[in-house]
Amino acid sequence: MGDGVRGRRVLLTGGAGFLGRPVAERLRAAGAAEVFVPRRADYDLTDADAVRRVYADARPDTVVHLAAEVGGIGANRSNPGRYFYANMAMGLHMIEQARRSEVEKLVQVGTVCSYPKHTPVPFREDDLWNGYPEETNAPYGIAKKALLTMLAAYREQYGLRGAYLLPVNLYGPSDNFDPETSHVIPALIRKCELARRNGDSEVVCWGTGTASREFLYVDDCADAIVAATARHDGSEPVNLGSGTETTIRDLTETIARLTGFEGRVAWDPSRPDGQPRRCLDTSRARELLGFTAAVDLEDGLRRTIEWYRAEGDLARPVR
């Protein structure tokens, strides 16, 4: 198929967001003729007419669909209907309009939340359909997984070429640190940093701490997405991760140490742990994309904490 980036007009949804900004930078550096980043105020991607307009305005050769509505466990429990509808509607309209506009390639970014709750570790792409996702994020995960089937069907019937990527939990500078909607790493960084500044003797964390997760630094994920956009063309999903599993308890202790919080960490088992374990088999990404994560967890956490201290909400006076 050739390079899907160099000399191409790329429509990048979600391109102003946490992951989208480094993806946009790398697409430009890789030789994209133009990277068109739609803003929500101008184009509501859950609306079919707005999606038709953005394709008409961008005139893309290649589409990278990153845009999503998602949050941590609490946000997923509060917004199951919204998260299903928004993610399903955006993907549905984006893929259909790609077909109508005869784009050369569409890259759909999915989610690790699509995997079954009790997937054997490490998660292999072939296990994606072998059970129901963890309940708190199932609506989001199922909506995203349905788009994998849609892409495969459109490839078979219409010849729409695409790639489907499954990134694990992301983190890094510019992440969402809102205490209501953030994922686990920014939530813990904010909690420990605020406790350190206030001289608190204790922080309380959700769950038991026994659940495990895998984390991928945002710049590493951006590198993988651009590699897939440039050269991957296949119907099989591809995991994107670091291949390293860590428990939430160990993660919390590491963040407490790196922030300098010396108090007690208390666990609230009345709050959900989420999926019991999460760690990916990343061999397919190495084989197909030549991708291996470059930033290890402690280094990435240190960079994220430094950014938060300089730029995050606690960089301003606490009221």
Identify the CA nearest to 128 among candidates 154, 100, 166, 82: 166
Give the C-alpha distances (Å, rounded to integers) separating 156 from 46, 68, 143, 243: 25, 26, 21, 32
**Closest of 219, 179, 98, 79 to residue 138, by C-alpha:** 79
Question: Across the strands, what pairs with 268?
Answer: 206
- Reported as type and span, the H/E element at residue 146 is helix 138-158
Measured CA to CA, the distance from residue 139 to residue 87 in angstroms comes to: 9
* Angstrom distance (rounded) from CA 146 to CA 123: 18
- Which residues does the annotation mark as catalytic? 140
Give the dihedral sign, CA 230/169/15/77: positive
Q: Which two tokens stand for residue 262?
A: 């010396």
